[in-house]
């Protein structure tokens, strides 16, 4: 295998490859997706996952324009149950990712309707 995908560079580059130009909008967006999950898992014990309260905070802080009912507690609870695919009362990164993928499909349908 050649170069592996590197996460965000930590500190000084030493002998690493130079990337040409600036970080792209897409790359910033990808980091924002991952980072926004972990911003809300802070304080959780064990594996980094979102409990119901953290998930609701994420919805209302980060996705209020995509999810029209993000402020509605009942709707947020329904959303939690839907996203919590394995029903363990926590949202894992994989489950969060499925939500992001679904939101991307909604954006695609509404903005780039084919």
- By beta-carbon proximity to Ca ion, the closer residue of 70 and 92 is 92
Shortest approach of Ca ion to residue 33 CB, angstroms? 18
Mask of contacts with Ca ion, 75-94, x by CB under 5 A? ---------x-x-x-x----
Taking alpha carbons only, the member of 62, 47, 45, 71 closest to residue 99 is 62
**DSSP secondary structure string for all residues of 76-103:** HHHHHHHH-TT-SSSB-HHHHHHHHHHH
- By beta-carbon proximity to Ca ion, the closer residue of 57 and 93 is 93
Query: What are the residues binding Ca ion (CB under 5 A)?
Result: 84, 86, 88, 90
């Amino acid at each position: 295998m050649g170069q592996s995908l590197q996460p965000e560079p930590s500190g000084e580059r030493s002998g690493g490859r130079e990337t040409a130009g600036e970080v792209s909008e897409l790359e910033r967006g990808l980091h924002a997706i991952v980072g926004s999950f972990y911003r809300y898992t802070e304080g959780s014990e064990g594996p980094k996952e979102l409990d119901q309260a953290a998930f609701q905070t994420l919805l209302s802080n980060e996705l209020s324009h995509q999810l029209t009912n993000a402020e509605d507690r009942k709707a947020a609870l329904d959303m939690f149950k839907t996203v919590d695919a394995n029903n363990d009362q926590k949202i894992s990164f994989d489950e969060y990712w499925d939500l992001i993928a679904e939101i991307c499909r909604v954006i695609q349908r509404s903005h780039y309707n084919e």
